[in-house]
Amino acid sequence: MTPVLVLFRVVGYGLLLLTLFDVVSAFIPLQLSNPGWQFQTAGGFVERSAVPLLGYILVFYDNQESRKKRELLLLKLLSWVALLSGIFYFALVIVLFITPPNINKNSEDQVNAQLNPRITQAQQIQSQLKTAQPSQIEALMKNGRVPAGTDPQAFKSKLMQEAATAEQNLQTQATITKNSQRLALFKNAIKWGLGAMVTAVLFIRIWAGTAWARQ
């Protein structure tokens, strides 16, 4: 066996071992009831799928030449693991397409929880100003150190306009944030979903192409 072939196999086993470490790390701790964890974990597997695929190619390169009996047993196990990996990545496709709606709802709820109180406050200010008596407006002007001679009605209109502008800005900010999060979420869902599908097919092809190891 040539030194290059030895190097191929050593690197291949090393990559598969690193993949095992990643798998163990990804599932600790388990959060199966958390759609966000499911989505990000599935995406992480897709992003790192090139490592085990390359590891398999290097390990199985050159078929049975110069293989010891113990290594052939390991290769038989790895061949079946490739099939299981293909099935696993097909399952990830499902995860990546069913979790985004729940994640999107949770994200929107967080945005609403952050901005809705401020929007409500701006609306309440407008409502209070609309029904405020002249004496109340004058008291506001006094507390706000408004220059003498300022028209109370003009001051009231200015405050209402500022409150309305603040409300509109917050509404716009909420809409932009939700749209941005939704777009990023579904872009990742499509990218990772297609990546998981391709990876699944490649693992199945590796399993089919290593039939000699299972004999």
More confident residue, 62 or 118: 118
Same domain, residue pair 149 and 169: yes
**Distance of alpha carbon 60 from alpha carbon 79, whole angstroms:** 9
Span 30-45, pLDDT tens digits: 998 999 999 999 999 9
CB of 59 closer than 8 Å to CB of 9: yes
Total domains in the chain come to: 2
- Predicted local confidence at residue 138, as pLDDT: 78
Span 105-148, pLDDT tens digits: 999 999 999 999 999 999 998 988 888 888 887 788 777 666 76
Residue 65 pLDDT more than 70?
no
Same domain, residue pair 165 and 200: no
Start-to-end CA distance of the chain, whole Å, equals 22
Same domain, residue pair 49 and 128: no
- Predicted local confidence at residue 15, as pLDDT: 97
Average pLDDT, the chain: 91
Give percent of the chain with pLDDT exceeding 70: 96
Same domain, residue pair 8 and 94: yes
- Predicted local confidence at residue 145, as pLDDT: 67
Q: What is the CA radius of gyration of the chain?
A: 31
Same domain, residue pair 41 and 76: yes
Count Cβ atoms within 10 A of the Cβ of residue 58 and give its class: 0-12 exposed, 13-18 middle, 19 or more buried.
buried
Asked if omega into 101 is within 30° of 0 (cis), the reply is no
**Distance of alpha carbon 171 from alpha carbon 116, whole angstroms:** 9
Extract the tokens encoding 20: 């095992």
More confident residue, 64 or 37: 37
- Predicted local confidence at residue 137, as pLDDT: 79
Span 136-176, pLDDT tens digits: 877 887 776 667 667 778 888 888 999 999 999 999 999 99
DSSP secondary structure letters along 34-71: -HHHHHHHHHHHHHTTHHHHHHHHHHHTTTTTT--HHH
With H, G, I as helix, E, B as strand and everything else as coil, classify residue 124. helix
Extract the tokens encoding 186: 């579904």
Same domain, residue pair 76 and 138: no
Same domain, residue pair 74 and 112: no
- Predicted local confidence at residue 140, as pLDDT: 80
Span 170-209, pLDDT tens digits: 999 999 999 999 999 999 999 999 999 999 999 999 999 9
Same domain, residue pair 178 and 201: no
Same domain, residue pair 67 and 106: no
Q: Which residue segment(s) compose the domain that 197 sits in?
A: 3-100+192-214
Average pLDDT over residues 16-25: 96
